[in-house]
């Protein structure tokens, strides 16, 4: 779309369209701002409760009015209650331009504002703001104000006006006078602010209405400008801890000719760095950008991608005229005139702090188009939120392994100093997109894979062949091993084998070996695995319709059991058990006319009453199985039995697999606390009074060790347990989950299950769970090159020794997180290597080894470590570490340890890597600038800070779930995705651009979708147009929308189709089927929805993002002092 072209009428607000990189987006209402630079984070500056902004003293900074009234002639101030209305629907715009809460700064321009005068053209790049005639009407003013954003040059896809996006690296190495107007220095007439705790980051403002902006784009890099070194700075971070402070009145109107307008003169070209300010300042400066820019820093504190710059140390004492600076504005006193009254403190503007949306958007724009080629050591992959292709050229794809850092310290002292955990999140059986190749299967015949004699590492691309190819030196332990005769091949002139490209294990990062009989239990090849379906037929399960639903679904689902690539039918055998206080086994042998039932009532000594006919081939026994599934709901239709057992059910499945000499999976459908007399009987121990006490940890621990022992037996047999829970009250997930968790299984929970609202979600989960790829009887070992070793493991598995991760089953969604520690020095030359080897039985009963290799860089400079970290992976690790911590420590201790570790990580960066600057600055490494916001989300999560509505079972469930999540899942779980549906382009396949998770981003006239991997909320504002409600819900008014909908109605109109396709697209990206919840604004469900707006303060006491950033800054300063 051409820069000056009128925007099309699709998305009403200025939403960035994919593919228009670097172009100005249409502003609100479709007016295009040709060539104007974008604000880093949109124009919003609504109030955050708790920050007081006093009325400005006379003679202080003037700003355009923010209320809906026309600009006052004499600068009279408006009453504080006025709200800026948008031209859309209704008032109270919570998104975009806010109510008049924060003082608007004048953008720096070099000419005084003359009402009614025509704008003068600008000759230099540095200034974008021009003042034109004031708008003729209130409506015009609203229209203008609603659409304006400001900021530095657009180097990447620009932000939607007013919706906090698009972080853009500023062009200047010094503070730029690009008309951002964000950080306006105090002029001498205002006096210098006292560095104090109440000083906060200035607020981003839209430019004055009615301005014209010359159609020119700044060069992405100005000639002669040396980009600064890596780091990201954020403004001052000390704020008064007040809460509930009153909203300040709006600032007075525009200055009259001759009045002071603060800000550096625009005659200064923005690529000349000014000298460092003489004073230390309480305000924060941004630090220099890291992304792709290297070179010596300019003398002042350089700007940051993603943060608005302060003008020349705006918060320090003002100094006299600067070298390289022209004079002050015409008619303004020069810098150095007598001091006036102090300026008002300002609060930290949410738009000036790092935005997750912005970082995600930038990464998509910068890295989404090129394939990620894995040939180079220590490359940081694109973010998990970016859609990219992987080309394996010797290192495992990031879909299989992601690391917290791709450049690790050479010494343990350096690692301790930085406190950055060295960890890898490994997903050995990850599903690949269709356009990527599955790992090749290599068969070396009876001799099996070639391995190092000493450390037993498998042949991989990093092994070094020597002596003409007759021997190889191990890249892990340096031992030299003879090449077996059948494997010998000559070397070329570079020392590579000539069959290098023909052998996956020499040229690829991931591949599989066919295992020989030596890798099998008892030295015999395994039988194909079995699936046993175990259905609770107690009163609750039957009455809710659950039993009938499961039986109906299984009839068709059994045709979709997993099978090897080209097999006609699945090799998996199936069996059926029903239970309440006793167990019923079914003989479904193909030769029978009707299934036979056998009851085992002695649950204390569990055995399987039949061998032949219990586990059968689906095709052979199809009619008998169908007959059984028809009969079960009828047999138990009149049951009065409410009590259930649980441990004997697992024991029965385990015994059946033992008797059949195979591995397998139990699918258990269970409804209540097992209180019937039997092994593993539980009591109700739910006690909310333990929350925030030292005994809170007992709520996460199993109430008996019985299940730990049972889990150990299951792992030994390769018996994996998947548990589907349908509780109407407490059923002790912490205890019932032990066996699924330690066997590598999954837990699904449907509280207060109702057939009409929950069946769709349950059936989708069941189908996916039965069909997904699983490896059985799995053992995983991670080998490392000399210098580091794997010391700690997180995930759903069992360990009987310190090195082997054992799983009865491992599916394509599960991850194992491994932490590494130094046991020696590493060298920068050789780097560090990881090899993950997974031995497992495929669903056809084939024993295989899957190998993933990854090479990392090593560094002697901390800056290199901080430049190559991956925050999403770091948060994944920290969450798992904390969630394990709650088993043994009070929750408060765990929370404090998390905050302390992150403060140490950031303080170490500040002390050792950032350019020197005042303590009042918060400086974050470029690739860790989202660490505070994401960490705050972990701290506010239900496990670490539960609200009153979160049950003990919910917390135990979430704790186990997160422990085996991959990086993409924890990313959206802790910082949910919020999409404005009303801005979706109905003609495109793409999703609408996401917005930040805060209530102030929502508008009453819009519909939003929020997803976190478990739920999808559709939030409907009270002022949504009736036509949209009709199109989406098929009802004529807001009040008629039903909260009980579990799916959106299928309506034949473009908006309905688009929203349903968005929902389907999101469902397809997640490993579980998300529950759809319709939330009407001001409805009781809105409290639940707001819990997921993670940038806001939470009801359970969690800090807002702004407050937490200030808290982190305080912690960092304490560590540094």
Range of 560-564, 873-877, 945-949 with top mean pLDDT = 873-877
pLDDT, tens digit, 9 for 90 and up, residues 239-265? 434 344 444 444 444 444 444 444 433
How far is the CA of 456 from the CAs of 299, 522, 733, 789, 840, in angstroms?
54, 20, 40, 15, 17
Sheet strand arrangement including 480-482:
464-466, 471-473, 480-482
Closest Cα to residue 147, out of 161, 130, 129?
161
Supply 836's token pair: 């993950």
Q: Is residue 776 a contact partner of residue 838, using CB atoms and an 8 Å limit?
A: no
Q: Determine the pLDDT at residue 718.
A: 97
Sign of CA dihedral 305, 310, 316, 320: positive
Per-residue pLDDT band for 437 (boundaries 50, 70, 90) equals: very high
What is the model's pLDDT at position 345? Answer: 53
Q: What is the C-alpha to C-alpha distance for residues 564 and 771, in angstroms, rounded to an integer?
A: 12
- What is the rounded CA–CA span in Å between residue 126 and residue 124? 6
Q: Give the confidence band of 350 by pLDDT, cuts at 50, 70, 90.
A: confident
SS3 label, residue 825: coil
Dist CA 926 CA 306 (whole Å): 9
**Residues 6 or more apart from 626 whose CB is under 8 A from it?**
555
570 has a pLDDT exceeding 70: yes
The pLDDT of residue 1121 is: 86
pLDDT top residue among 148 and 997: 997
Range of lowest pLDDT (202-206, 382-386, 751-755, 1085-1089): 202-206
**Section 667-676 average pLDDT:** 97
C-alpha 611/C-alpha 659 separation (Å) is 7
Percent of the chain whose predicted confidence (pLDDT) is above 70? 69
Over range 631-660, report the average pLDDT: 97
Q: What is the DSSP letter of 445?
A: G
Calpha distance 737→940 (Å, rounded): 23
Maximum mean pLDDT: which of 57-66, 120-129, 155-164, 337-346: 337-346
Take residue 1086 and report the two structure tokens written for it.
């809105």
d(CA 848, CA 30): 59
C-alpha 637/C-alpha 537 separation (Å) is: 9
The helix (run of H) or strand (run of E) holding residue 967 is helix 967-974
Q: Parallel, antiparallel, or unpaired: how do β-strands 1075-1080 and 922-924 relate?
A: unpaired
Q: How far apart are the first and last CA of the chain?
A: 53
Residues 6 or more apart in contact with residue 204 via CB below 8 angstroms: 39, 40, 41, 42, 43, 44, 45, 150, 151, 180, 182, 308, 349, 351, 352
Strands (E), 437-557: 441-442, 464-466, 471-473, 480-482, 510-514, 530-536
Stronger pLDDT, 785 or 340, i.e. the higher one: 785
The pTM is what? Answer: 0.73
Gyration radius of the chain's alpha carbons: 32
Highest-confidence segment of 104-118, 130-144, 386-400: 386-400
Contacts of 376 (CB under 8 A, 6+ apart): none
Q: How far apart are CA 157 and CA 1045, in angstroms?
A: 37
pLDDT at 181: 35
By DSSP bridging, strand 719-725 and strand 664-670 are parallel
The pLDDT of residue 175 is above 60? no
**Looking up tokens 């697209």, which residue turns up?**
1065
Q: Cβ atoms within 10 A of the Cβ of 73, count?
A: 11
- Report which listed range, 173-182, 323-332, 458-467, is most confident: 458-467
* pLDDT confidence of residue 340: 53
Residues 6+ apart with CB under 8 A from 361: 16, 156, 157, 159, 165, 166, 167, 993
Cα atoms in the 13 Å half-sphere on the side-chain side of 8: 10
Neighbouring-strand partners of residue 779 = 806, 839
Residue 140 has pLDDT above 70, yes or no: no
pLDDT, residue 128, reads: 38
Q: Following DSSP, what letter does each residue of 26-60 receive, concatenated?
A: B-GGG-B-TTPPPPSS-S-----TT---PPPPTTS
Q: What is the mean pLDDT of residues 847-867?
A: 97
Q: Are 589 and 546 in contact (CB under 8 A)?
A: no
Give Cβ neighbours of residue 816 (< 8 Å, ≥ 6 apart).
425, 426, 428, 780, 793, 794, 795, 797, 805, 964
3 state SS of 951:
coil
310-314, 476-480, 718-722: least confidently modelled range: 310-314
Mean pLDDT of 455-467: 96
SS3 sequence of 166-219: CCCCCCCCCCCCCCCCCECCCCHHHCCCCCCCCCECCCCCCCCCCCCCCCCCCC
Q: What is the mean pLDDT of residues 214-220?
A: 34
Residues 126 and 13 sit within 8 Å (Cβ to Cβ): no
DSSP assigned state of 1038: G
Question: Which residues, 6+ apart, have CB-to-CB distance to 692 below 8 Å?
Answer: 891, 892
Instruction: Give the DSSP H or E segment for 714.
Output: helix 706-717
Q: Confirm if 140 and 70 have CB atoms less than 8 A apart.
A: no
Q: How confident is the model at residue 918 (pLDDT cuts 50, 70, 90)?
A: confident
Checking if the pLDDT of 896 tops 70, the result is: yes
Tokens of 838: 């997974």
Q: Report pLDDT for 468.
A: 95
497: DSSP letter: B
pLDDT of residue 349: 86
The answer to whether residue 105 scores a pLDDT higher than 60 is no
pLDDT tens profile 480-518: 999 999 999 999 999 999 999 999 999 999 999 999 999
**Secondary structure (DSSP) of 316-378:** S---SPPTT----STTSPPTTSPP-SPPPP-PPPGGGS--HHHHHHHHHHHHSSS-EETTSTT
Instruction: Write out the DSSP string of 418-468.
Output: H---EEEEE-TTPPPPTTSPPPPEE--GGG-S-B-TTT-PBP-TT-EEEGG
pLDDT of 111 above 50: no
At residue 564, the pLDDT reads 85
Torsion angles phi and psi, residue 895, rounded to 5: -65, -45
For the chain, percent of residues with pLDDT exceeding 90: 66
Is pLDDT larger for residue 134 or for residue 1099?
1099
pLDDT in tens, 748-774: 999 999 999 999 999 999 999 999 999
- pLDDT at position 949 is 85
209 neighbors 135 (Cβ within 8 angstroms): yes
Instruction: Give the torsion through C-alpha atoms of 535, 538, 543, 546, to 10 deg.
Output: -10
**Distance (Å, whole) CA 352 – CA 167:** 10
- The torsion angle over the Cα atoms of residues 306, 309, 313 and 319, rounded to 10 degrees, is 170
Token pair 């220099």 in the structure block, residue: 288
pLDDT band (50, 70, 90) for residue 932: very high
Give the pLDDT mean for 365-385: 96
DSSP letter at 509?
Answer: S
The least confident of 290-304, 658-672, 695-709, 793-807 is: 290-304
């Amino acid at each position: 779309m051409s820069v000056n072209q009128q925007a099309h009428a699709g998305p009403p607000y200025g939403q960035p369209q994919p593919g228009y990189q670097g172009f100005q987006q249409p502003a609100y209402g479709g007016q295009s701002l040709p060539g104007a630079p974008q604000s880093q984070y949109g124009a919003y500056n609504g109030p955050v409760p708790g920050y007081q902004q006093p009325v400005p003293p006379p003679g202080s900074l003037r700003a355009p009015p923010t209320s809906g009234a026309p600009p006052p002639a004499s600068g009279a101030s408006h009453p504080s209650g006025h709200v800026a209305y948008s031209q859309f629907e209704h008032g109270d715009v919570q998104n975009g331009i806010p109510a008049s809460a924060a003082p608007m700064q004048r953008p720096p321009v070099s000419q005084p504002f003359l009402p009614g005068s025509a704008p003068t053209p600008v000759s230099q790049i540095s200034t974008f703001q021009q003042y034109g005639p004031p708008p003729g009407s209130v409506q015009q003013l609203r229209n203008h104000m609603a659409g304006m954003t400001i900021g530095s040059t657009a180097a990447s896809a620009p932000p939607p006006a007013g919706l906090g996006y698009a972080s853009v690296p500023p062009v200047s190495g010094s503070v730029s006078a690009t008309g951002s107007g964000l950080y306006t220095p105090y002029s001498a007439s205002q006096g210098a602010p006292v560095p104090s705790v109440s000083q906060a980051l200035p607020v981003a403002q839209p430019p004055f209405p009615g301005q014209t902006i010359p159609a020119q784009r700044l060069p992405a890099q100005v000639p002669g400008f040396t980009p600064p070194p890596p780091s990201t700075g954020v403004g001052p971070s000390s704020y008064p801890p007040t809460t509930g402070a009153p909203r300040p009145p709006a600032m007075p109107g525009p200055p009259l000719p001759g009045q002071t307008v603060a800000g550096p003169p625009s005659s200064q070209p923005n690529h000349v760095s000014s000298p460092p300010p003489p004073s230390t300042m309480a305000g924060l400066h941004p630090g220099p950008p890291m992304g792709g820019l290297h070179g010596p820093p300019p003398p002042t504190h350089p700007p940051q991608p993603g943060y608005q710059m302060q003008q020349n140390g705006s918060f320090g004492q003002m100094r006299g005229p600067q070298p390289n600076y022209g004079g002050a504005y015409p008619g303004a006193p020069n810098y150095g005139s007598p001091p006036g009254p102090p300026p008002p403190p300002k609060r930290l503007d949410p738009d000036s702090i790092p935005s997750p949306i912005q970082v995600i958007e930038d990464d998509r724009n910068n890295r989404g188009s090129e394939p990620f080629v894995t040939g180079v050591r220590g490359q940081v992959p694109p973010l998990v939120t970016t859609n990219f292709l992987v080309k394996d050229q010797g290192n495992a794809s990031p879909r299989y392994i992601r690391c917290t850092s791709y450049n690790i310290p050479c010494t343990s002292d350096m690692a301790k100093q930085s406190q950055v955990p060295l960890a890898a999140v490994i997903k050995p059986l990850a599903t690949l997109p269709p356009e990527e190749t599955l790992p090749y299967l290599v068969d070396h015949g009876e001799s099996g894979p070639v391995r190092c004699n000493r450390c037993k590492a498998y042949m991989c691309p990093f092994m070094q062949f020597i002596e003409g190819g007759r021997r190889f030196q191990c890249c892990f332990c340096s031992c030299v091993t003879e090449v077996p005769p059948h494997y010998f091949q000559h070397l070329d002139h570079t020392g590579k084998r000539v069959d290098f490209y023909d052998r996956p294990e020499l040229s690829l990062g991931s591949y599989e070996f066919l295992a020989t009989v030596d890798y099998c239990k008892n030295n015999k090849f395994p039988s194909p695995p079995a699936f046993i379906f175990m259905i609770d037929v107690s009163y609750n399960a039957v009455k809710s319709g659950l039993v009938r639903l499961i039986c109906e679904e299984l009839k068709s689902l059994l045709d979709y059991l997993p099978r090897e690539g080209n097999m006609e039918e699945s090799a998996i055998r199936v069996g059926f058990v029903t239970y309440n206080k006793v167990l019923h086994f079914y003989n479904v042998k193909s030769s029978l006319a009707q299934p036979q039932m056998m009851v085992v009532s002695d649950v204390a000594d569990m055995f399987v009453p039949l061998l032949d006919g219990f586990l059968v081939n689906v095709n052979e026994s199809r009619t008998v199985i169908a007959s059984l599934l028809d009969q079960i709901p009828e047999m138990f239709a009149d049951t009065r039995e409410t009590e259930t057992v649980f441990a004997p059910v697992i024991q029965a499945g385990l015994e059946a697999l033992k008797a059949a000499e195979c591995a397998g999976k139990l699918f258990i459908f269970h409804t209540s606390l097992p209180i019937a007399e039997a092994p593993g009987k539980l009591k109700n121990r739910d006690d909310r009074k333990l929350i925030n006490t030292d005994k809170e940890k007992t709520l996460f621990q199993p109430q008996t060790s019985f299940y730990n022992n049972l889990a150990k037996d299951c792992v030994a047999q390769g018996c994996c347990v998947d548990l589907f829970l349908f509780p109407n009250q407490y059923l002790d997930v912490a205890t019932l989950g032990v066996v699924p968790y330690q066997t590598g299984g999954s837990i699904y929970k449907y509280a207060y299950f109702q057939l009409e609202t929950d069946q769709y979600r349950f059936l989708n989960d069941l189908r996916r769970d039965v069909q997904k790829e699983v490896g059985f009887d799995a053992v995983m070992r991670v080998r490392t090159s000399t210098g580091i070793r794997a010391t700690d493991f997180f995930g759903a598995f069992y360990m009987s020794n310190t090195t082997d991760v054992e799983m009865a089953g491992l599916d394509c969604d599960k991850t194992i997180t491994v932490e590494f520690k130094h046991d020696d020095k590493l060298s920068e030359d050789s780097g560090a290597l990881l090899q993950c080897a997974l031995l497992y039985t495929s669903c056809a009963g084939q024993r295989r080894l899957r190998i993933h290799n990854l090479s990392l860089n090593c560094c002697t400079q901390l800056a290199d470590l901080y430049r190559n970290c991956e925050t999403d992976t770091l948060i994944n690790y920290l969450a798992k570490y904390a969630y394990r911590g709650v088993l043994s420590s009070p929750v408060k201790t765990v929370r404090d340890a998390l905050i302390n570790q992150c403060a140490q990580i950031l303080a170490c960066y500040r002390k050792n890597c950032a350019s020197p600057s005042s303590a009042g600055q918060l400086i974050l490494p470029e690739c860790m600038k989202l660490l505070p916001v994401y960490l705050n989300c972990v701290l506010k999560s239900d496990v670490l800070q539960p609200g009153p509505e979160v049950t003990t079972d919910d917390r135990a469930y979430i704790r186990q779930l997160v422990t085996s999540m991959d990086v993409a899942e924890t990313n959206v779980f802790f910082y949910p995705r919020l999409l404005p549906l009303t801005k979706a382009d109905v003609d495109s396949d793409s999703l609408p651009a996401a917005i930040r998770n805060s209530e102030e981003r929502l508008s009453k006239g819009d519909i939003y979708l929020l997803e976190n991997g478990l739920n999808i909320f559709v939030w409907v504002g009270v002022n949504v147009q009736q036509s949209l409600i009709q199109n989406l819900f098929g009802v004529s008014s807001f009040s008629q929308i039903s909260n009980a909908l579990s799916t959106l109605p299928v309506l034949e109109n473009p908006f309905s189709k688009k929203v349903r396709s968005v929902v389907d697209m999101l469902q397809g990206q997640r490993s579980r089927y998300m529950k759809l919840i319709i939330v009407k604004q001001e409805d009781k469900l809105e409290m639940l929805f707001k819990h997921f707006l993670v940038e806001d303060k939470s009801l359970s006491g969690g800090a807002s993002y702004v407050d937490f950033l200030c808290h982190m800054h305080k912690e960092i300063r304490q560590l540094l002092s």
